[in-house]
Chain A
Amino acid sequence: MIKSADVVVIGGGSIGCATAYNLARLGFKNVVVLEKGYICRGSTGRCAAGIRQQWGTEMNCLISRYSIRHFEVMNESLEYDGDVEFRQNGYLMVSYSQKEAAMLKENLKLHEKLGIPVRFLSVDDVKEIVPVINTERIVASTICMEDGQANPFKVTDAYYRAAGRLGVKFYTYTEVTGFKKEGEKITAVVTDKGEIATSAVVNATGPYAKFISAMLGHDLPVEPERHQIVVTEPLDPFLRPLVMNFFHNSYCQQVLNGSVLAGYGNPDEPKGINYDCSWQFIKELAAKIVDQFPVMKEVNIVRQWSGHYGISPDGQPVLGTVPGVEGYYLALGCGKGFMLSPMIGELIAQCVAGQDTTLPIGILNVRRFKKGELIVEPAVV
């Protein structure tokens, strides 16, 4: 293993790979990525890969908006041999209650201000866009046709290959177990395969981030929370946009091969790493999905798995430097890290390089939790 590096990125998910690529592009010659398993082993390889700009905080909206601009040209900009399968089929947000409808209306004002093309839909519009949807209880819904989905494995692979061509070294099956410091300064990363001397470390370990912080004596309030998901056998196209339902706390989308991916957030889920799958999840999810799409009762589930969101106290990403630990940077998407990864990669690389960042990430610094300056994201599932 290499003895020293300009920057060590921990985590081989979409954010780690995008960050490494951007660091190399900004001229860092010796960038290393450490991954304790294989590329995409973490949340990235387990996510639904929905991409949307319809958020309730300005930064979430902006980071995803800028990221979509990257997704749109990703095959070309990363000179990818394959296809990252970015498809702008829209993202439909559905509410069954006046309270959620009010939130959608509130968010719409923000979207208008930021120039995000979100539309309020009548029930007839919804029926036209998704003929199989049950509109009985729909009170309000919005759609943005620039939103959509991409293949998380291929997006990460595209960054991984592009980074590799720029000289980034990837060490898989290499686990970070500790650090060496002089005072507040990081001097080396310790792994199960040896040590790498470095003065800059990017923590892109998604749901594992707090464990890395703990090794540096930093208390990070981002908790791993298990999220389960199922996939059905492939079907002919019948569901164009991703449908997110705030009443059911669920999402449902048909992907390129025809399979349907669906999941929901369980409000009682305990925090912590847990890769188990439960039959209760399938049962409850099926009821939620069939309520929304009665035809889905005919469809067979073929697989179920679980991954984790990193839950921050306000549902927003945690980006940038860490007070008290010099040379330590957080690159955490927090539950929506896949869709934000192109921009988080760019912003963190700029931050490490000491450049002005394309977007003002200061407000997403981890300091805000201590100061109590939370800007809570309301539109989460």
Chain B
Amino acid sequence: MRIQNHPILKFEKGRRVIFTFNGAEVEGCEGEPIAAALHAAGIRVLSHSRNYKRPRGFWCAIGNCSSCNMRVNGVPNVRACVEPLLDGMIVETQQGEGAVGSGIDG
């Protein structure tokens, strides 16, 4: 499902591109938010809550709430709701708080 008609905004649909979500190939439109492409592909769980690890989905849609923080091309905590989709992107759900570099145990 994508928004087709909006009273104020115009959506130019980009060309079809292929990216991966947790290793599986998904199709989306270039330049739309990653979360929009995931949503259109029926993917609803974008992250998990900190304490109880409950599923979290598309929520504020303006890059504020951190419900859609994902790992994109290896970079943690990318706001999938505002990050434009590019061909060949590697999108993954994140474990824990998100890892940078090699990581050590505390």
Contacts and interface: CB of A to CB of B under 8 A. Distances in A.
Interface of A: 89, 131-132, 233-238, 240, 258, 293, 295-296, 298-300
The interface size bin for chain B is 10 to 19
Interface string B58-75: 000000001001000001
Given A132-B100, A296-B100, A298-B100, A237 B76 contact: no
Contacts of B98: 233-236
B97 A235 contact: yes
A374 to B, nearest CB: 40
Interface of A is mostly: loop
B88 interface: no
A236 B97 CA distance: 5
27 contacts: A89-B106, A131-B102, A131-B104, A132-B100, A233-B69, A233-B77, A233-B97, A233-B98, A235-B76, A236-B96, A236-B98, A236-B99, A236-B103, A238-B101, A238-B102, A238-B103, A238-B104, A240-B104, A240-B106, A293-B101, A295-B100, A296-B100, A298-B75, A298-B76, A298-B77, A299-B77, A300-B77
A258 B103 CA distance: 12
B105 interface: yes
A132 B75 contact: no
Interface centre among A132, A240, A300 (most CB of B within 10 A): A300
Contacts of A258: 97
A235 B106 contact: no
Contacts of B69: 233
Given A258-B97, A295-B100, A237 B105 contact: yes
Nearest to A299: B100
Contacts of A300: 77
Nearest to B96: A236
A293 B102 CA distance: 12
Contacts of A237: 103-106
B105 A295 contact: no
